[in-house]
Homo-oligomer: A and B are copies of this chain.
């Protein structure tokens, strides 16, 4: 492995036409970043001074103001908000209670775009399914007029790959339930923890499907409901899931580190500013904006990169990628040299993927080599991901993916438990070091400001 990587290193070093910075410069930037405090300062400030910041609400507007002030204070250029309109779904009173045969309250939260129950709630008999497949196979007769409960068996994975498949009950469940005539649906939270904190998350009813109330039970409550159902007696539940939809505003916050060559294609990095409403959005995605902004700041501190670095704190990601879509609409045709987003928590980065194109393989390999000392394994050269940048990646833009270890991510994801204490400052610094090294490799080289310039 070492031999192979060293050969790649030589190859990367022998490609001056790509204007790559000296590996020693990148190594120095990377290692200095292991003492970073910028990222902690950002995520601590944002989660403390703003707290929860649900897309389209006045809290998200306060978060944008906070971001502008912070990014300006850090010395970034062209700090601005790009606003856009959006429908805003917000939660009201909510609760679930088993009425028979064993009366008890359960902890529930409405899924995004859930229809609202009346304030006094609804009552129905529960029909339970142990998986999405079982539910989909059920005849409508079993479901009609009832409250559907769908469970699943989501496992922990390092790469978070369980989220797609096992997210079915949340994403498709409500539509399937409505089509089969259910009066409401409750799902086992899409998560891997055992706390009484339900996992929120967006779902969208398919076109023409009548919205019904849809909620997620905490995992201990979902297992309790399964145990109750197993007793074989009819189970009735009272369900209150009040919500409302209004028209509102969100926006992307953009800032830049100006490059020496303003015409050169620029690098886009970022995360999303909005959070779900019950936590303070520390790992989703305060840490993402913090890590990427700290890395850009460290490049700026070191001097001027050849390429401009653009930082985007996307708005309204959680409820439908509104910020990413708006950015694509406004900037999709600009020359992006590479795009990358951090939106998978703040645990250590363990893998680097990239999709820079065949002609930039040497650069991709140089990136792998620069990250390896941080314990990051080389992944695919034909892959990159990121929620808000997905539209751009799908359009073929070059991208990089720095994958955090997601083993514990879905313990916290979209719950009230997404708070600052869940971030390990040392892991956060490893993230900053990786992003700084990545920016260093792609920057085209950083030229220290002349000394006299600092005295002006």
Contacts and interface: CB of A to CB of B under 8 A. Distances in A.
Nearest to A102: B49
A194 B102 contact: no
Interface in A373-420: 415-417, 419-420
A102 B278 CA distance: 15
Nearest to A226: B48
B421 A223 contact: yes
Q: How many identical chains are in the complex?
A: 2
A220 B48 contact: no
Which of A44, A52, A197, A219 counts the most chain B CB atoms within 10 A? A197
B104 A51 contact: yes
A420 B224 contact: yes
Interface string A276-297: 0011100000000000000000
Interface residues of A, number: 35
B280 A419 contact: no
A228 interface: yes
Contact of A419 (B196, B228, B421): B196
Nearest to A227: B48
Interface string A241-254: 00000000000000
Nearest to A228: B48
A35 interface: no
B50 A421 contact: no
Interface string A204-231: 0000000000000001100110011001
A319 B420 CA distance: 33
A107 interface: yes
A94 to B, nearest CB: 13
Contacts of A219: 421
Nearest to A53: B104
A200 to B, nearest CB: 13
B197 A197 contact: yes
A103 B219 CA distance: 29
Contact of A195 (B48, B50, B195, B280): B195
A69 interface: no
A327 to B, nearest CB: 28
Nearest to A105: B52
12 contacts: A49-B102, A50-B104, A51-B224, A52-B104, A52-B105, A107-B416, A194-B419, A196-B415, A197-B197, A219-B421, A220-B420, A227-B420
Interface of A: 44, 47-52, 59, 101-105, 107, 194-197, 219-220, 223-224, 227-228, 231, 278-280, 415-417, 419-422
